[in-house]
Amino acid sequence: NRLPAHLLELLKTHLIDLNAFSEGGCYLRGEWCSYRSAMELRRAGIRFRPGKSRRLSEVKFTSFHCSALLTLPPITVDDSTKSEFLNLVAYEACPDTPDDFGITSYLTLMDSLIDHAGDVKELRSKGILLNFLGSDQEVADLFNEIARDLVPNPHAYVDVKDKIEKHYYSKSKIWIAEWKNTHFTSPWTVLAFIAALFVIGLEVTSTFLAGIQTYYTVHPKGS
């Protein structure tokens, strides 16, 4: 019901829901929680999907029986991205602005998900990053540079962080993810796995039939 005090305030209201970051979470309970790179999460059975909203606070984690889904807002990265984010971070550091540090927290999240060009490629292939900047490594360098020395809101994305930790330390889910990554990464590995099962089945059947034949040879009927 009021005019924004600054153009950056108007921009931020379109990017961050000021009520998105609730209090509580692992940070305040004294537990250690950390994000991990996109490739590391993928190997742990966590898939990525672009959200319907472009609000940077709209990050969700959905857990299934043996896999999980991390939903991230789609973002376009171009020549204006760096200056836009740097100005928003500077705005959040001003004394009379809301102290939610939403943009800062989003940048530290992306920095943790993106270590190398492979992480950018994974997020780009899922429609989360639209790269108009250049190479995937340039995008990785951009987020790593912007987020350097930033301190996020400890309440930001706390539910997502908790769920990632629980999934990552579930041995059964990690074992299933590693097994799928080993045997189902391509049609050839699937065929090889099926062929191996077929050969094992033949060996078991052959052993079983040989055992029956041996039994009736030693114990003929009527004897």
The arithmetic mean of pLDDT across residues 180-192, rounded, is 54
* More reliable by pLDDT, 199 or 207: 207
For residue 131, the one-letter residue type is N
The per-residue pLDDT for range 84-131, each reduced to its tens digit, is 999 999 999 988 887 789 999 999 999 999 999 999 999 999 999 999
Residue 106 lies in a domain: yes
- 150 and 173 both lie in a single domain: yes
Both ends of the chain: CA-CA distance in Å? 100
Output 188 or 113, whichever has higher pLDDT: 113
- Residue 56 lies inside a defined structural domain of this protein: yes
Structural domains of the chain, count = 2
Mean pLDDT (the chain, rounded): 82
8 A C-beta contact, residue 39 and residue 145: no
125 shares a domain with 96: yes
Q: Is the pTM of this model over 0.85?
A: no
Same domain, 134 and 203: no
Q: Identify whether residues 169 and 191 lie together within a single domain.
A: no
Domain annotation covers residue 108: yes
Same domain (yes/no): 153, 196: no
Residue 55 CB-density burial (10 A; 0-12 exposed, 13-18 middle, 19+ buried): middle
Domain extent, residue 206, equals 186-218
**69 vs 167, higher pLDDT:** 69
205-223 pLDDT, tens per residue?
Answer: 777 777 676 766 666 655 5
32 with 72, same domain: the answer is: yes
pLDDT for 30 equals 44
Evaluate if residue 181 carries a pLDDT over 60. no
pLDDT value of residue 148? 92
